[in-house]
């Protein structure tokens, strides 16, 4: 979007539209490609790196993945253990990554690794890592509760050698670059959840209107239609928070607090909407052919747990100390 002269609000407009796809894994894959694995390279990468990795990724010839999370460090990014040790004009990489979307099919990874023994927020770097190098082992495609069409891989690195010129921006700035991108990732995640929630509420209205119990449509029960009205209100409140955060972000503000609030609310609301609506579908809600049961399994946790969002919000409210 930057190359087209469009601001980040256009990303969010696209994300909301992608919510019309009746499959969570597709917006997830597009989001990783367009808004998670590539922003740091776009902002801070050298011309040569952009030509080698970014151009074919934008063209759709390359699949990109983002290598942040590890088996012992998901939400706690500062705790990653993967090392990239400089030897001559190469980095030698050892360690592993977990929960890597598009990892089984990716042509390259935007890898976050420790490049020194310094403080955890200043010892990390981002590296463009071709996925066909010797020593890269895609261990398995993870079988998940939800997002079942999404390729999620566990990957190990054993003495993987990559040229030092593949470093994105400055050495030691990787954590900072990644935190910038997390704001956008969380806002994207919220946007893709809005339309499915609206769809589920509408489909539940349609189903309960024609489904009769004891001689009257299920929808005519006040418990049912009041609950649907409450949920629709909650979705609109979330949309307003998202659009406020995006407007502030486009103006150049740090929206970590609002993005975290929106992500917290989106995660909880997707569970609340699907759980409430599922009850009104009765036995049909237990089948895989209806959207509500499929969405019920997504349990929106990608991009950080609720508790991580709460901790970030508390730090920005000065309840907890910031690192």
Cβ atoms 201, 235 nearer than 8 A: yes
The beta strands (E) that lie in the chain are given as 64-67, 83-87, 90-101, 108-114, 124-130, 136-141, 152-163, 167-168, 212-213, 216-217
Active site residue 185: yes
Please name which of 26, 11, 22, 10 lies closest in space to residue 198, comparing C-alpha atoms. Answer: 22
State the catalytic residue, choosing from 16, 171, 184, 185.
185
Q: State the Cα–Cα distance between residues 26 and 19, nearest whole angstrom.
A: 9
Residue 195, CA distances (Å) to 18, 107, 133, 247, 292 in order? 8, 31, 40, 20, 13
Coil, strand or helix: which one is 171?
A: coil
Q: Is 74 helix (H, G, I), strand (E, B) or coil?
A: coil
Task: Please identify every residue annotated as catalytic.
Answer: 185
């Amino acid at each position: 979007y930057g190359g087209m002269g469009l601001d980040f609000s256009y990303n969010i407009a696209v994300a909301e539209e992608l919510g019309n796809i009746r499959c969570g894994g597709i917006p997830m894959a597009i989001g990783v490609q367009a808004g998670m694995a590539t922003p740091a390279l776009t902002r801070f990468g050298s011309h040569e790196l952009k030509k080698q990795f970014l151009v074919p990724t934008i063209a759709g010839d390359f699949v990109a993945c983002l290598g942040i999370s590890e088996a012992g460090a998901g939400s706690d990014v500062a705790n990653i253990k993967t090392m990239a040790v400089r030897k001559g004009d190469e980095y030698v990489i050892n360690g592993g990554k977990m929960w890597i979307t598009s990892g089984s099919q990716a042509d390259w990874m935007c890898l976050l690794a420790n490049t020194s023994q310094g403080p955890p927020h200043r010892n990390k770097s981002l590296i463009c890592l071709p996925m066909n190098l010797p020593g890269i082992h895609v261990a398995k495609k993870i079988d998940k509760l939800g997002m079942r069409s999404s390729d999620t891989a566990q990957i190990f690195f054993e003495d993987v050698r990559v040229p030092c010129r593949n470093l994105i921006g400055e050495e030691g700035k990787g954590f900072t670059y990644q935190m910038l991108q997390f704001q956008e990732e969380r806002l994207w995640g919220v946007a893709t959840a809005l339309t499915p929630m609206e769809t589920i509420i509408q489909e539940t209205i349609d189903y309960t209107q024609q489904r009769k119990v004891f001689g009257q449509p299920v929808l005519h029960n006040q418990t049912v239609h009041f609950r649907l009205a409450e949920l629709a209100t909650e979705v609109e409140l979330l949309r307003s928070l998202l659009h406020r955060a995006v407007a502030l972000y486009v103006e150049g503000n740090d929206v970590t607090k609002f993005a975290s609030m929106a992500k917290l609310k989106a995660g909880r609301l997707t569970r609340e909407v699907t759980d409430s609506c599922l009850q009104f579908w009765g036995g049909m809600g237990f089948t895989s052919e209806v959207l509500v049961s499929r969405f019920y399994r997504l349990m929106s946790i990608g991009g950080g747990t609720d508790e991580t969002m709460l901790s970030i919000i508390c730090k920005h409210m000065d309840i907890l100390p910031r690192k």
